[in-house]
A and B are shown apart, each in its own frame.
Chain A
Amino acid sequence: MSLILDHVNYIYGEDTPLAVKALDDICLTIPDGQFVGVIGHTGSGKSTLMQHLNGLVKASSGHIYFNGEDIYDRDFDMKKLRSRVGLVFQYPEHQLFEIDVFSDVCFGPKNLGLSKREAELRAYDALRKVGLPDELFYQSPFELSGGQKRRVAIAGVLAMKPDVLILDEPTAGLDPKGRDEILHQIKNLQAETGMTILLVSHSMEDVAEYVERIIVMNKGSVMYDDIPKQVFSHYKELEEVGLAAPQVTYILHELKKRGLDVDINATTIEEAADTVEKALKVSC
């Protein structure tokens, strides 16, 4: 069970004068149960890449294998793929439409052809997983706060019980607490269900804190693909392509430069505090 991309290319407006190469020879393997962060500046091809993974966009050339099956095979069941690979778009709350929260989350599983009872069970389960309080289930989704709406939208995809969950900037526009809550719940979800998660984000701090592997996209190709520490050690190169490292990286580099013996590879506040504390103790 995994996703494999084999030399995937995608060209917008192929065979026209306006052709733009959006994905350039992408080869990736995403094993089961991994929590992967995808970063890249606006227009680097990360959203296009995500849209390939559930077959919304078809590659110009190359192959994508889901659990060993080529998704471009004529007898491959695309509908099944879309129920297995769930995609939460940017600003997913714009897609809420039902009269109450519960019906909105039921919509997906019902469309899979499940019985009303099964759909409702799944909806309930999904809403619990994203941490939405019970008393909001029968409210109109439009009366909720930004963070709550976002959670309902994510629950709508979770209720489809996907094996792979792709989140395209799930925290854009949320306040810091809402950001932490949603990311926490996603992390718990992954630990509980073993679901594969791909998180597209512009926040380096969030990515550093939560994911185990980072894929950096630049100009349609994979620039780095490694654990966060390794990726952020290239912070100069990341800046050149419009990205950055988490702020702690800069702090630690500055301290190191000025003679404090800290470990510059720490990427979270916790790790940074540990290494600074240690450096101070040693020299005292």
Chain B
Amino acid sequence: MGIIKTQEVVFEYIRRDEEGNVEGITTAVDHVNLDIKQGQFIAILGHNGSGKSTLAKHINAILTPTEGTVWVGGMDTSKEEKVWDIRQTAGMVFQNPDNQIIGQVVEEDVGFGPENIGIPTKEIWERVEESLKAVGMYAFRKYSPNKLSGGQKQRVSIAGVFAMHPKCIVLDEPTAMLDPNGRREVIRAVRGLNQVEGVTVILITHYMEEIIHADRAFVMDKGRIAMEGTPREIFSQVEKLQELRLDVPQVTLLAHELQKRGIALPNGILTTQELADQLVPLGKRGN
């Protein structure tokens, strides 16, 4: 069993009217099966309302399934006595950094989590230092979070979660509110945690460029997994993604447009480098 496993997970919201009578049931997650291995970088895509955030909230037991089972590090999330262990195994980072930072000073904020679970003071300092270095924010440890940019704040939030030494971090649109530079910084930090520290990463995003390095990507639609594969496999299917209200990186889109105009290119080009490698020889052929 992988670090995260879900089996036939269903989650239903019960809609009620003003008097509290049941009006209907919305199925937000519909028979989802996932098996995520330790150390993987997983991306979850999907349009607004496709159920990806609801699914993500199952991974650290904010929600528990209506039907089916979710195991995090082998623990069943529906067992209430395991909730704290589950949340230490799988940490979560949300969209808005301002809702997640509580400390007056960066290092104090990062130390808050470990302090809460009774880590000895000396080790707290070690973890704070290590976490801030991992996200490239050590130089800012004495700053007030209020004085940081969005990308920097979001990296502090990530350090705060990493300081709990989770095996897995779930990031729910961590870059939606950031400028291009902030987005780059955050994604770099997340990739670092995954590759250097071996943390399992589950990244939910609307920015297609952010997931090209993922090991595996899942596309959700109406609560189900509609597509699954490596980013290259997923992005080869430009039309299908567009039907699912999604997009592909601009490089892939340009390659697709050129294909339509009869230029021989392989499917699923993901980086500028790859596209150039393909196009340059085509251009030189006639010379």
What is the CA–CA distance of A259 and B246 in the complex, to the nearest angstrom? 33
Contact assessment for B247 and A176 in the assembled complex, using a CB-CB cutoff below 8 Å: yes
What is the CA–CA distance of A273 and B282 in the complex, to the nearest angstrom? 14
A-chain residues with CB within 8 Å of residue B187 when the two chains form the complex: none
Known: A175-B46, A176-B246, A248-B250. A279 touches B283 (CB 8 A): yes
User: Which single member of A41, A146, A244, A277 contacts B261 (CB below 8 Å)?
Assistant: A277
Contact assessment for A247 and B180 in the assembled complex, using a CB-CB cutoff below 8 Å: no
- Assess whether A251 is interfacial by the CB under 8 Å rule: yes
Known: A145-B48, A177-B246, A242-B181. A273 touches B261 (CB 8 A): yes
B-chain residues with CB within 8 Å of residue A260 when the two chains form the complex: 279-280, 283
Give A132-144 as 1s and 0s: 1 = Cβ < 8 Å from B's Cβ atoms: 0000000000010
Contact assessment for A177 and B250 in the assembled complex, using a CB-CB cutoff below 8 Å: no
- Assess whether A276 is interfacial by the CB under 8 Å rule: yes
Contact assessment for A178 and B285 in the assembled complex, using a CB-CB cutoff below 8 Å: no
Residue of A nearest to B287 (CB): A283
The interface size bin for chain B is 35 or more
Known: A145-B49, A247-B250, A269-B250. A258 touches B276 (CB 8 A): yes
Residue of B nearest to A173 (CB): B176
What is the CA–CA distance of A269 and B242 in the complex, to the nearest angstrom? 15
Contact assessment for B179 and A172 in the assembled complex, using a CB-CB cutoff below 8 Å: no
A-chain residues with CB within 8 Å of residue B284 when the two chains form the complex: 259, 283
Residue of A nearest to B52 (CB): A175
What is the CA–CA distance of A32 and B180 in the complex, to the nearest angstrom? 30
- Assess whether A158 is interfacial by the CB under 8 Å rule: no
Contact assessment for B49 and A146 in the assembled complex, using a CB-CB cutoff below 8 Å: yes
Residues of chain A in range 234-266 having any CB-CB distance to chain B below 8 Å: 239, 242-244, 246-248, 250-251, 254-255, 258-261
- Assess whether A19 is interfacial by the CB under 8 Å rule: no
Known: A145-B48, A272-B254. A242 touches B180 (CB 8 A): yes
A-chain residues with CB within 8 Å of residue B254 when the two chains form the complex: 248, 251, 269, 272-273, 276
B-chain residues with CB within 8 Å of residue A41 when the two chains form the complex: 149, 179-182
Give B239-272 as 1s and 0s: 1 = Cβ < 8 Å from A's Cβ atoms: 0001001110111011001100101000000001
Residue of B nearest to A244 (CB): B180
Residue of A nearest to B185 (CB): A242
User: Which single member of B179, B208, B257 contacts A242 (CB below 8 Å)?
Assistant: B179
User: Which single member of B150, B246, B258, B287 contacts A273 (CB below 8 Å)?
Assistant: B258
Residue of B nearest to A284 (CB): B286
Contact assessment for B286 and A283 in the assembled complex, using a CB-CB cutoff below 8 Å: yes
What is the CA–CA distance of A49 and B209 in the complex, to the nearest angstrom? 30
Q: How far is the CB of A8 from chain B (nearest CB, A)?
A: 23
- Assess whether B206 is interfacial by the CB under 8 Å rule: yes
Contact assessment for B272 and A280 in the assembled complex, using a CB-CB cutoff below 8 Å: no
User: Which single member of B95, B149, B176, B245 contacts A178 (CB below 8 Å)?
Assistant: B245
Contact assessment for A251 and B272 in the assembled complex, using a CB-CB cutoff below 8 Å: yes
Contact assessment for A280 and B263 in the assembled complex, using a CB-CB cutoff below 8 Å: yes
Contact assessment for A42 and B273 in the assembled complex, using a CB-CB cutoff below 8 Å: no
Contact assessment for A247 and B251 in the assembled complex, using a CB-CB cutoff below 8 Å: yes
Contacts A175-B48, A243-B180, A258-B276 aside, 16 further interface pairs with beta carbons under 8 A come to A41-B180, A41-B181, A42-B149, A173-B176, A175-B245, A177-B242, A179-B206, A242-B149, A243-B179, A251-B251, A260-B283, A261-B283, A277-B258, A280-B279, A283-B286, A284-B286
Smallest CB-CB A-B distances: 4 pairs: A177-B245, A176-B247, A242-B181, A247-B250
Query: Mind listing 20 A-B residue pairs with CB under 8 Å?
Result: A42-B150, A42-B151, A146-B48, A147-B48, A172-B177, A175-B50, A176-B206, A176-B247, A178-B47, A242-B179, A243-B180, A243-B181, A247-B250, A247-B272, A250-B272, A260-B280, A260-B283, A270-B257, A276-B258, A283-B285
